[in-house]
Structure 1
Amino acid sequence: MSRKVGRNRHSYRRRSRVHSRVFPFLLVAPTLLLFIAVVAYPFAQSLLYGLFDESLLDTGGARFTGFENIASLLSSSHFWSVVQNTVVFVAGSTLGAFAIALAAALALNTGIRARTAWRSALLVPWFLPGVVVAFLWRWIFDANYGLANGVLDWIGIDSVNWLDSPSFAMIAVIIGKIWHSFPWMMLLILAALQGVPAEVYDAAAIDGASGWKQQVYVVLPQIRPAIALTLLLETIWGLQHFELPYVMTGGGPVGATTTLSVDLYQSAFHKFDLGQAGAIGILWTALMAGVVAIYLFYSARQEREAQK
């Protein structure tokens, strides 16, 4: 009898160990399957198109071409013009939004009056959908009845044809992106600022640091990881951004605001060239992977310095 009880206990313990190992995977399985079906598989398939000569207008079927589509893009002046537009758009919108977000976060971290109301008001642009923001700024920069030209006329400056000028269209799109992006960056930086211990401020005051010197030389170094993460996320989202340049200008005029996201969309759904669109996707992914690699290298170096 005791042997039978012992075997039952051993069997129960073994089943419990198996269940404890399998149960976490069962919890993750639905999310993982959904991710594979909705994100991973379509993403891999879209990249795979870049290795084929395939068009929706060609009924002859796909033809494997290897890296010919990528080589064709890399030798195309149009592609490098699109890359330049993308870099200008991402750099301008990211740095502009970061400057405003940092200034707003530093102000809200002080004893400013009605801080809660200011925080709520400054977060409004972030809550709006990207398409709504695009139409809003398209109206603001409209050459005939836009608010921007109305202000210029009021102060005695000639109107500007914002969205139809190669010189001003990118500026208009960047301004719209800055307005849409700075609130979430402000929120992340503000959270990091509020995590700085009070002792740091006290020590800085004892050493004679106050005002902007205290913020620049004492507080900001404390939140460098949060700043780096904020810039990384905004850079990646800027590389992926589609709504503002497409809705505001359609990538024009004369391709002045055509970014990688817009160019990929036009290749796939205007030219119906899936091979070229897939090749753009491959190079686009490589560019974002490079940005992430730079961040990981920076984070690893910061950790090594912190351990010394």
Structure 2
Amino acid sequence: MLAAPAVALFIAVAVYPLVASFWTSLYDQSLVRPEREFVGLRNYAEVWPDFVDRLGNTLVFSTLATLFPLLIGVSLALLLNARLKGRAVLRGALMLPWLFPGVVVSFLWAWIFNDSYGVINHVLSQLGLPEVDFLGQPATAMAAVVIAKTWNTFPWVMVVVLAVLQTLPREQLEAAALDGASRPQRFLHVSLPHLMGPVALVTMLEFIYNFGSFDMIFVMTGGGPGTATMTLAVSLYQYAFTEFSLGRAAAMGVLWLGALSVVCAAYYLLNKKLEGRR
């Protein structure tokens, strides 16, 4: 009886939409007409080529948007863990990008990268260098979105790693220093083993979040130019609300869920392994 409300809520917001999406994927159903026709697996066959292409873009974005915040966040956490003058103020300032909603960050960086009045192109023109259409060229559009995502999410990684570093026993570092270990040796043999577990979990979680990222890519590029930044999330949106094909959108969603399940399974196994070590 105590669990019944939570179970009912879970069924309403998770189980029912999942079953309904799978059922819809078997029909030719549109937003603009009420009738629908059973087509079996035809929707899956139609969206499969797009799924393979969008999956590649999604993996590229997820990998880069996870790797760069991780490198920056860990580096800044190590810096802020040292005894620096004014580090409390610096910590607060570095947290600011994380406080902005994704849509706000998207508009900010879209303005920075704008080819007509963007800040970066203004600086390039003042230096006598050619201007670049960052969001309009396939070679630079993905990089621009990754930069925006990195700026928005590195503080989260920084805070998690900094919290872990605060729990590191000072006695171990002091003992290593007394034994003659240099600063790099203390990091490699004392701090790094202490960080490996939490950093691995943060990396997996960040990858899962980025795998389903929609707002930043949609606002900055809309999946373009062409399909250079077309991820699974943006592709599903276009199927449903541009082409009004709910059947194909649902089929894309089911395939997307299958791909994400592999990542979630890896996260679960990693978490269980790390818990076993503890």
TM score, norm. by length of structure 1: 0.84
Structure 2 residue 212 is matched with structure 1 residue 237 = no
2:103 aligned residue (131, 151, 157): 131
Are the counterparts in 2 of residues 46 and 278 from structure 1 also a CA contact under 8 Å?
Answer: yes
Alignment partners' CA distance in 2, 1:270 and 1:251 = 13
**Per-residue CA distance 1:32-63 (angstroms, 9 max, x = gap):** 44443344433432343223222224443241
**Equivalent position of 1:48 in the other structure:** 23
For structure 2, which runs of at least 5 residues remain unmatched after alignment? none
**Equivalent position of 2:177 in the other structure:** 205
**Equivalent position of 1:153 in the other structure:** 125
Q: Which has the larger radius of gyration?
A: 1
Q: Secondary structure at the match of 1:223?
A: helix
Give the letter for the 1:105 counterpart.
Answer: A
Alignment partners' CA distance in 1, 2:67 and 2:105 = 19
**Equivalent position of 1:101 in the other structure:** 73
Structure 2 residue 49 is matched with structure 1 residue 72 = no
Are the counterparts in 1 of residues 164 and 198 from structure 2 also a CA contact under 8 Å?
Answer: yes
Are the counterparts in 1 of residues 31 and 246 from structure 2 also a CA contact under 8 Å?
Answer: yes
Alignment partners' CA distance in 2, 1:30 and 1:184 = 33
Structure 2 residue 95 is matched with structure 1 residue 120 = no
Are the counterparts in 1 of residues 161 and 199 from structure 2 also a CA contact under 8 Å?
Answer: yes
Alignment partners' CA distance in 1, 2:232 and 2:200 = 24
Alignment partners' CA distance in 1, 2:62 and 2:74 = 18
CA shift in 2, pair 1:214/1:62, >3 Å? farther
Shift of 1:31: 4.5
CA shift in 2, pair 1:204/1:285, >3 Å? farther
Q: Secondary structure at the match of 1:144?
A: coil
**Equivalent position of 2:35 in the other structure:** 60
Are the counterparts in 1 of residues 205 and 267 from structure 2 also a CA contact under 8 Å?
Answer: no
Shift of 1:259: 0.6
Shift of 1:185: 1.2
Shifted more, 125-134 versus 28-37: the winner is 28-37
Runs of 4+ with >6 A deviation:
none
Are the counterparts in 1 of residues 25 and 250 from structure 2 also a CA contact under 8 Å?
Answer: yes
Shift of 1:91: 0.6
Structure 2 residue 166 is matched with structure 1 residue 194 = yes
Shift of 1:69: 2.5
Alignment partners' CA distance in 2, 1:70 and 1:218 = 51
Are the counterparts in 2 of residues 228 and 295 from structure 1 also a CA contact under 8 Å?
Answer: no
**Per-residue CA distance 1:72-118 (angstroms, 9 max, x = gap):** 333x1x33221111111111111011111001111111111212111
1:217 aligned residue (189, 212, 216): 189
Give the letter for the 2:138 counterpart.
Answer: P
Larger relative contact order (CA 8 Å, sep ≥ 6)? 2
Shift of 1:269: 0.6
**Equivalent position of 1:175 in the other structure:** 147
Are the counterparts in 1 of residues 201 and 271 from structure 2 also a CA contact under 8 Å?
Answer: no
Q: Secondary structure at the match of 1:145?
A: coil
Give the letter for the 1:69 counterpart.
Answer: N
CA shift in 2, pair 1:54/1:218, >3 Å? same
**Identical aligned pairs, as a percentage?**
42
- When the two chains are superposed, the root-mean-square deviation of aligned CA atoms in Å is 2.0
